[in-house]
Every structure is written in C-alpha cells, then in structure tokens.
Structure 1
Amino acid sequence: MAATTGTILETIVLVIVFIAALCANLSLFYIVGTTRNLQTKANVFILNLALADLLVAVINLPVTIITVIAQDWVLGKTLCQISGFLTLLTFVASCMALSMISINRYHAIVNWTSYESKYTRRKCAFYVCITWFITIVLSIPPFFGWAKFDYDPGQSYCFAEWTASKSYTIFMIAACLCGPLSIMTYCYVRILRYHEDSGRDVRQISLRSNSLSVQSFAMVNQTQGSRKNRLTRTVIVLIVVFGICWSPFAIIMLIQVFSNAHVPRAVDFGSLVLGYLNSFFNVVVYNATNRKLRRQFLKFFTAVNLEKTFD
C-alpha cells in the first residue's frame, strides 16, 4: 500500500519524538551518573520515572513507527501481546513513579526527622522495586483473560482493548489514575500546610528574640526550605505536564469504552503522540526547574559540540 501524505507526516513526527526522548533520557542518566552532587536520594526516584520514559523511547515508539509505515500490524500476534503489555506497563510505571516521588517529597519535608532512616540507599532501591512490582501486577491481567491485548488501528499500536472488559477499565482508572492522584494530592496538601506552619513558627521565634544564633537558625531553615521548595515545584510541574499529556488519551479511551461516538484518526493518533511526548517533556522540566542539572546539561552538550568541531 502506497504511503499517503498523512502517513509520511505521522512517521516524521514519531521519528522526531523518538530521537528527542531517547537522547534526552540517555543524557539524563549519563549526567546524573557522572555528577556526584546530583546523585541524591530524591534523584533516585526521578531516574525511576526517567527509566519509564526511556522504555517508551526504546520499545513503544519504534514499534509504532513500524506500524504507521506499514499501515497495519505486521509483527505477528505474539509480538502484539508483548508490545501491548509493555505499552501498558510503561504508562502504569509513570503513574506509580510520580506517586513514589510525591511520597518521597512528603517524607523529606513533613517527616524530615526520620527521613534519613527511612530513605537509605538500600531502602530507596527497595521502594523502586516495589513500584515496579505493583506496575507489573496491574498490567498483567489481560494475559489471563481480564481484558485482552489487541491491535488498535486508530492509534497504530497494540494495547489493552478496554472495550473487552469494562470492569478492568474501571479498575485501572481507579488504580492508575484516581489512586495516584489521591496520593499526590494528599502529599502536596500536607506539604503546603507544613510550609505555612513552619514559616509562621520561624517568624514568631525571630520576632521574640534578636540573638544571633536564632537569626542564624532562621536563615539556615529558610535556605533549606528554599531548596526543598524548588524540588517540590519540580515534582508538581512533572505531575501537571503528565496530566496535560495523557488526559486526552484517557478521555478518548473512556469515550471509546462507554459510548459509540466516533473519534477521528487525527484526534485518536494525536492523543497517543502527545502521551509519547511526555517522555521528552519530563527532561525539559528537570532542566527548567533544576539549576545544577541545567548547568551539567549545558556542559555536556557544549563538550559534545566542541568535540564534533575539532573532529
């Protein structure tokens, strides 16, 4: 079948997203791995989210590109099952990773006195493993007859066929959208309340005493609070960007499951591309909100460009 203009445009867009997401997330892993002051406990959970983004770039995007070019699923039924599972896995992994990041921020700020004991390096690795275990458990039911993985021509990929089981659809909405959203909301409401209470306490102490030690304590507390606030803002922006990128996909999924309304190919496919773009936008957010990371990215890409120039 001859390629149409639409097919060519879709392929070009997907290839651009693939290159951007792959290069951005590989660079993030390299930079954090080679920069000691970025190897923090909080960044363990950021890299966990980046791992899900990297899997989207390495696994999901190439398969979708092949399918768009062929204008049909040509990789066989078994690969459709595997691809559908991996696509669902990476989506759920992103939701779980954002929840884990939110919980980490909650403990770092609200329960800071016990943070060091709760978040040792070994425990951080254990928490990451737990999130992936939950992700696998949530993604595997279609293999056992609760819904199924099948080819979706509207989005040119294999995924969970939500219409095959409305009960699984409702379960996944509750477990992967409502659940994580509730966790994130709870964590950040508590964080905001804590900031208000601690800021009020520090101001009262400063007003009651003019001693140098109290003023120094207030300044140190303000500096530490400012650093934690920046990281908290980073996570909030990540959640907002995730919501913007994946909301159209989720809305279209609900429309297809609970009504007979026709969704145009451009809208259907566009919602998937926007979701894929989230894997690139996350790295943009890291750079926009983290001065240290941004500085290392600039150094990295400047060094790469200089090396190319001298070669």
Structure 2
Amino acid sequence: MEVANTSDLVGRIFHPWATLNVVLPCIMSFLVIVIVIGNFMVLVVFIKTPKLRDIAGVYMMNLVATDLTYGALVLPLTIISSAYGRWVFGRILCQFKGFLTSLLCSVSYGTLGLMSLEKYIAILKPLHYSQIMTTKAMAVSLCGLWMYMGTLSILPLFGFGKYDFIPAAFTCTTKWRYSAVYGLTYLFAGLLPSMATINITYFFIFRAARQQARKINTIEVRMCRTDTTEEIHSGVSVPTNSVENSQRQSNLLTRSFNKTQTKAAMTVLIVVGVFMLSWSPFAMANTWSVVTNTPIPFYIELIVTWLACLNSALNPYIYAVRTKSFKNGLRRVARSWSCTVRGRELNCLSWQPDVEEITELSVMTNTVHR
C-alpha cells in the first residue's frame, strides 16, 4: 500500500502506516485469541451440559460456531495482510475469504432472527411451544438459513457483485461501492428480513411481558384482600382451601416460568443489541459510500470494520454473564479439566446438579405440562 511520506524539520522521513502495520496486527491477534477462546469454551460447555442442549441452545451454538469459524479461519488472513499492507494470498483465496466473510456474517444475524422467533413462541405461545419448536423444525430452519445465505453470498463469485481487497480494512470482502445492485439485493433479501423479525418479535414480547406483570400484580392484590377480609370476619387466620392453594401454586409456577423465559429473552436482546451497535456503523458507512459514490475515509473504514469484528468476541461473554446454567456448566468443565490434568478424573467428574438448577427445571416442566 503506497502512502505519501512526511518529514520533520531535520529531514527525517516518516511512514505514516508503518506503525499501523505493527500495532494493528498485535491488536487483531489479541482479538482473535479472545474470540477463539471465548467461543470455544461456550461450545464445550454446551456439549458437556445436557440442560443447555435444547432448541434455544442449539441456535446459540450455531451463532457461536459462526463466530468461532470467523475468528479461527478468516481473521488470521486479515492479520497477515495488515502486517504486509497488502493481500499476499492470491486472488482465489481472496474470493474464498470474501465469500466466507459474507456467509458467516449473514448466518450470524439470520440466527439472531431465529433466536428472537423462538423466544416469541416460548413466551407468547407456551402451550404450543413443543408442537411448533420441534427438533425437525429447528434442523430445517438452520439448514434453510445456511443454504439461503450461502446462495446470497455466492452470487459475487458468478459476477453479480464483487469480492475484492479493501486496503483500509486489510481484508477481502464485498466491494459495495462497485456492487450497488448486489448491495441492495443483499440488503432487502438478507439483512432486512432478519432485522424485521427481531424488531417485530421483541415488540410483542415486551408488550406481553408488561401485560403479564399487570395480571400478576392484580391477582396478588385480590388474594391479599381476600385473606385480609377472612381474617377480619373470623377474628383468626383462616386456612385457604385446596382450590385457592392450587390457584396460588399455579400462579407461582406461571410467574416463575415467565420470569425464566423473560430473562432468556433479555439475554437474546442484549446479544442482538450488541450486534446492531457493532454492525450499524459499518452498514451506514458503506450505504453512504454506495449512495454518494464516494470512497469511505481510511480511518473511518478501518474503525467500522474492526468494530464489526469486535461483535464476535463479545457474544460468548454476554451469554456467560447472563446465564446461570452456563456459568455452572463452565465451572464443572473447568473442574473436570483440572481434575484430568491432576490425574483424579473419577473423583472429580462425579458431580451432582445444583439444587437451584433442579428447582428451576422442575418449575418449568410442571408449568409446561399444566
């Protein structure tokens, strides 16, 4: 990459990007390590924790797998290119890298759309969840997502769009400025359907959450008034009958189930929010470039590109912080690895499930059966 030199008063020559070609690979290498370790640990915990291997868990594993592939296969090529200041792997690998980048990013936000839809069904249609969200439906949705996004991503390899090396981003990706028609196709056929699904489902999820909270408060107030009235008229505390106990237990189970699902929905919403915050500057910058037919300034393109890459590093840590089952699974995996290293596998691997997890699972199971 050719960049004009600058000099100071004593005539020393500076190469503005020489420092960048050293510092940037170091920063990106650290980012790759964070992405690979974080997403790999999430996959291991999911595989070794049966409780997490439900429909929602498989969707999350698909998201984590795309981030792990992106960090392990795609970003190392970008690191080497940033060190050299140019693409050094040939045109064929450049095209493949552009295709893989497009595919993995497309599958990531498509998976977020599926995760949002799953939470919508879990919260708004809990009685029909097991009939709608079957293993077959989950497999078909994921296979369909990969095939559909793969079709959109492969089009530039056949002349509809263009994958090329972007010097400011040190990577081979879609050259949006010279692929306006493909860019619009990708926007309306790939990105917008997923974003629309996310926005619509979460609108109804939060509306239902507010309505449920109001109903629970109303029920609690009525029950409190009933108990108070009985105590006043009798002069002593009157035990509630079996019907009232059953109703209270049902309300308690429903409230616990809704609280669990709402927390899970909030976790997905945080993941979606981080994704949109990471990728929105990149999308807006490239849209502006296509509409105005002007190149994106070097530093702007560099920042928005790596801000988008940062998203792959954040997802596993968000999920780890928000999900108690995952944290417990992570502790068990770490304990088992530690025991394996110390040669005490049998004693260390004979763990018992946490009481809290058993209670939570029992509540959810009883509620669904009711």
TM-score (norm 1): 0.92
Deviations 1:215-273 (A, max 9, x none): 11111111101100110000110011001111121122123222255534333122222
1:49 match: 63
Q: Which residue of 2 aligns with 1:100?
A: 114
Q: CA deviation at 1:305?
A: 6.6
Kept after mapping to 2: 8 A contact 1:95/1:176: no
Contact 1:150 1:159 in 2 (8 A): yes
Partners of 1:48 and 1:137 lie apart in 2 by 18
1:205-220 map, 5 Å: 205-206=219-220, 211-220=244-253
2:285 aligned residue: 252
Match of 2:325 in 1: 292
Distance 1:256 1:199 in 2: 46
Contact 2:87-2:171 at 8 Å conserved across structures: yes
Tell me the residue number matched to 2:128.
114
Deviations, residues 144-201 of structure 1 (Å, cap 9, x unaligned): 2211111111111111111222121122222333322211111011112222333334
Relative to structure 1, the CA distance from residue 187 to residue 148 in structure 2 (aligned partners, 3 Å threshold; closer, same or farther) is same
After the TM superposition, which residues 271-282 of structure 1 pair with which residues of structure 2 at under 5 Å, given as runs?
Answer: 271-282=304-315
Q: Which residue of 1 aligns with 2:190?
A: 176
Structure 2 residues without counterparts, runs of 5 or longer: 2-14, 227-243, 344-370
Provide the residue aligned with 1:64 in structure 2. Answer: 78
With over 3 angstroms needed to count, the CA separation of the structure-2 counterparts of 1:308 and 1:257, relative to structure 1, is farther
**Could you tell me whether the CA contact under 8 Å between 2:164 and 2:175 is conserved in 1?**
yes
Q: Aligned partners of 1:270 and 1:79: how far apart in 2?
A: 24
The 1:308/1:247 distance shift into structure 2, 3 A limit, reads: farther
Alignment of 1:227 with 2:260, yes or no, is: yes
Report the secondary structure of 2:311's partner residue.
helix
Residue 102 of structure 2, aligned match among 65, 88, 91: 88
Which residue is equivalent to 1:200? Answer: 214
3-state DSSP class of the match of 2:86?
Answer: coil
Residue 199 of structure 2: aligned partner: 185
With structure 2 as the length reference, what TM-score do the two structures score? Answer: 0.78
DSSP 3-state at the match of 2:173: strand
Q: Post-superposition, which runs of at least 4 consecutive aligned residues in structure 1 deviate over 6 A?
A: 305-310
Total equivalences in the alignment: 310
SS of 1:4's equivalent in the other structure is coil
Higher RCO (CA < 8 A, seq sep 6+): 1
Superposition deviation, residue 203 in structure 1: 4.2
- Contact 1:205–1:214 (8 Å) recurs in 2: no
| Residue aligned with 2:284, SS | helix
User: Does residue 268 of structure 1 match 2:282?
Assistant: no
What's the RMSD between the two structures over aligned residues? Answer: 2.3
Contact 2:25 2:82 in 1 (8 A): yes
Report deviation, 1:110: 0.9
Retained in 2: the 8 A contact 1:29–1:47?
A: yes
Give the letter aligned to residue 270 of structure 1. I
Q: For 2:127, what is the secondary structure of its paired residue?
A: helix
Which amino acid is the alignment partner of residue 259 of structure 2?
Answer: S
Change in 2 beyond 3 A, CA 1:235/1:204? same
Hey, what does 1:142 align to over in structure 2? Answer: 156
Aligned to 2:87, the other structure's residue is in SS state coil
- Between the two proteins, what is the percent identity of the paired residues? 25
Residue matched to 1:238: 271
CA distance in structure 2 between the aligned counterparts of 1:252 and 1:305, rounded to whole angstroms: 47
Give the equivalent residue in structure 2 for 1:27.
41
Structure 1, unpaired ranges of 5+: none
Distance change in 2, residues 1:283/1:122 (3 Å): same
Cα deviation, residue 5, structure 1: 1.4
Q: Is the 8 A contact 2:177 2:289 kept in 1?
A: yes
Give the Cα separation in 2 of the matches to 1:277 and 1:217: 44
Q: Is the 8 A contact 1:52 1:90 kept in 2?
A: yes
**2:53 maps to 1:39:** yes
Superposition pairs for residues 124-163 of structure 1, below 5 Å? 124-163=138-177
